[in-house]
């Protein structure tokens, strides 16, 4: 038991590692915010474009979605970081990781939001169109709100799942939390920094799961 505490909850090591880890946490948070904003924004945009039902464009969107849902994020990151420079596009590690995860989240978000759009009752479109609203107006003022409300739970879950993957950025040596924790572990020859990182991840993501429950409740209305 004492041994367990020594390796996983070593107080002196914790105190020493904490400042660095908080730096790493800050990087993780920055990446997470960018990934969620860009990923859901792009996903929403693609879902809206898809609702024009312009066949050639939709084929491209579906290919994008399927590709980025199928390839592991780490592989995408490797491609962007190591392969893109050979065609003249060089992104720094931080940007590579953000772009990777934003694209992956966008693919999932598009699929989820699109499912929401198609699940909105056809009568809503008919009612709006019958009053003279155009297709885009109907989408924005009538359909989209209902669609997004319906998909808030899966969308939040997916956003959390993808954002947690910021840890893969350590593979291209971004100084995010996991990377900091593992180098601290090497320095102190003690895994406590990893325990601390796990606790910080917990503190970071639990509020979002709670927020998602609140949002779900907030957007519910009587029928």
Partner 1 sequence: MSMPHAVPATSGPLLTIENLSKRFGPLMVLDDVSLTVAEREVIAIIGPSGSGKSTLLRCVNRLEEPASGRVMLGDVEVTARGAKLNAIRRDIGLVFQNFNLYPHLKARDNVSLALRKVIGLSREAARLQAEAALTAVGLEMKFDAYPGELSGGQQQRVGIARAMALNPRLMMFDEPTSALDPELVAGVLGVIKDMKARGMTMLVVTHEMGFAREVADRVIFMDRGKIVEQGHPSRIFGQPESPRLREFLASVLGR
The residue ranges that bind partner 1 (CB under 8 A) are 121, 123-124, 126-134, 137, 141-142, 145-146, 149, 221-223
38 near 31, Cβ under 8 Å?
no
Q: In whole angstroms, what is the distance from residue 93 CA to residue 166 CA? A: 12
The least distance separating partner 1 from the CB of residue 184, rounded to whole angstroms, comes to 49
Cα 84 from Cα 150, distance rounded (Å): 38
Report d(CA 105, CA 101) in Å as an integer: 6
Question: In the complex, what is the shortest distance from the CB of residue 202 to partner 1, in angstroms, rounded to a whole number?
Answer: 35
Residue 62 CB: number of other CB atoms within 10 A? 15
**Smallest distance, partner 1 to C-beta of residue 216, A:** 15
Q: Is 173:93 a contact under the CB 8 Å cutoff?
A: yes
In the complex with partner 1, the residue whose CB is nearer, 124 or 157, is 124
CB of 116 to partner 1, least distance (A): 13
CB atoms within 10 A of CB 197: 25
């Amino acid at each position: 038991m004492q041994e367990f505490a020594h390796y996983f909850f070593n107080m002196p090591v914790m105190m020493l590692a904490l400042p660095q880890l908080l730096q790493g946490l800050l990087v993780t948070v920055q990446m997470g915010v960018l990934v969620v904003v860009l990923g859901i924004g792009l996903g929403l945009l693609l879902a809206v474009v898809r609702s024009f039902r312009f066949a050639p464009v939709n084929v491209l969107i579906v290919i994008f979605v399927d590709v980025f849902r199928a390839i592991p994020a780490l592989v995408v990151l490797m491609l962007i970081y190591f392969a893109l420079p050979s065609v003249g596009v060089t992104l720094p590690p931080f940007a590579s990781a953000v772009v990777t995860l934003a694209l992956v989240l966008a693919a999932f978000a598009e699929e989820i939001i699109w499912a929401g759009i198609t699940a909105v009752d056809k009568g809503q479109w008919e009612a709006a169109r019958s009053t003279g609203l155009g297709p885009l107006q109907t989408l924005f003022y009538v359909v989209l709100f209902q669609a997004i409300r319906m998909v808030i739970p899966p969308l939040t879950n997916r956003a959390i799942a993808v954002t947690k993957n910021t840890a893969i950025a350590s593979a291209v040596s971004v100084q995010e939390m996991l990377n900091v924790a593992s180098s601290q572990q090497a320095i102190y020859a003690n895994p406590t920094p990893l325990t601390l990182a796990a606790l910080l991840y917990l503190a970071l993501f639990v509020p979002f799961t709670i927020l998602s429950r609140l949002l779900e409740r907030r957007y519910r209305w009587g029928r």
